């Protein structure tokens, strides 16, 4: 009997433990599923974070490339002004912006230009204005301000050309007056020279006649005729 009781009670104990095992297995499956879901979520979040980081890095790299390109363009632009402007161009000044990498990049710039005329020399002013206009339009893509400076240089050249024409007209008038004065003086000098020449010719003729008279006198003296000629009132001049 005790053996039967033991054998009869053992199956009942096993039957009572069966639901606990099933629950544990179900719980284990739920936990495993939750762990997998959690890992999947973490992987997705990490993937999204990595994607965001990559996108941000790409955006920053693109911004750096654009800033570097702008920096080269701005500096080349201002260097073109300086190279052609020469002594009439000032030092280049730049405005910078700091990129995502901490490096400053030039985003705009300017070069001062001397647009004043050359005092007392329209020719030099014309040459200066032409050089300034070339300097303003030297960059591959002149800005609106560059074209304004070029227009001002053209206006400066026009004013200088007008001044040059005025000076040339005044010089021509002065030269013509001088020519007229010189012509009048030359005409008077020619008249004076003619009179002087006539006087000189008269003096030469008189001297020659005097020499001939002297020779006649000497001959008469030698011949002893001078006294007789004088006594008779003969003119010995020839």
List pLDDT tens digits, range 88-132: 999 999 999 999 999 999 999 999 999 999 999 999 999 999 999
What is the pTM assigned to this prediction? 0.56
Question: Which run of H or E residues covers position 94?
Answer: strand 89-98
Higher pLDDT, 4 or 225: 225
Strand-pairing partners, residue 104, are: 98
Residue 167 dihedral angles phi and psi, to the nearest 5°: -65, -40
Over 60: is that where the pLDDT of 233 sits? no
Q: What is the dihedral of CA 116, 122, 125, 131, to 10 degrees?
A: 160
Q: pLDDT grade, residue 220 (50/70/90)?
A: low
Residues near 74 by beta carbon (within 8 Å), at least 6 away in sequence: 94, 106, 107, 108, 109
Q: How do residues 126-179 score in pLDDT, each as one tens digit?
A: 999 999 999 999 999 999 999 999 999 999 999 999 999 998 888 888 888 887
Q: Is the pLDDT of residue 12 over 70?
A: no
CA–CA distance, 195 with 166 (Å, rounded to integer): 43
Backbone angles phi and psi of 12, in degrees to 5 = -65, -40
């Amino acid at each position: 009997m005790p053996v039967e009781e033991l054998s009869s009670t053992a199956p009942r104990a096993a039957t009572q433990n069966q639901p606990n095992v099933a629950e544990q297995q179900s719980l284990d499956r739920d936990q495993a599923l939750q762990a997998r879901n959690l890992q999947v979520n973490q992987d997705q979040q990490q993937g999204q974070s990595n994607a965001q980081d990559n996108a941000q890095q790409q955006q920053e790299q693109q911004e750096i490339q654009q800033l570097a390109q702008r920096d080269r363009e701005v500096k080349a632009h201002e260097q073109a002004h300086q190279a052609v402007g020469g002594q009439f161009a000032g030092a280049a000044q730049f405005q910078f912006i700091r990129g995502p990498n901490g490096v400053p990049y030039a985003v705009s710039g300017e070069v001062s230009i001397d647009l004043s005329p050359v005092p007392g020399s329209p020719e030099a002013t014309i040459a200066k204005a032409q050089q300034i206009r070339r300097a303003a339009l030297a960059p591959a893509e002149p800005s609106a301000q560059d074209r304004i400076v070029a227009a001002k240089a053209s206006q400066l050249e026009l004013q200088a050309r007008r001044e040059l024409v005025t000076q040339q007209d005044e010089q021509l008038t002065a030269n013509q007056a001088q020519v007229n004065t010189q012509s009048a003086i030359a005409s008077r000098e020619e008249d004076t020279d003619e009179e002087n020449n006539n006087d000189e010719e008269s003096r030469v003729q008189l001297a020659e006649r005097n020499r001939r008279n002297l020779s006649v006198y000497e001959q008469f003296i030698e011949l002893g005729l001078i006294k007789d000629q004088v006594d008779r009132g003969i003119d010995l001049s020839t």
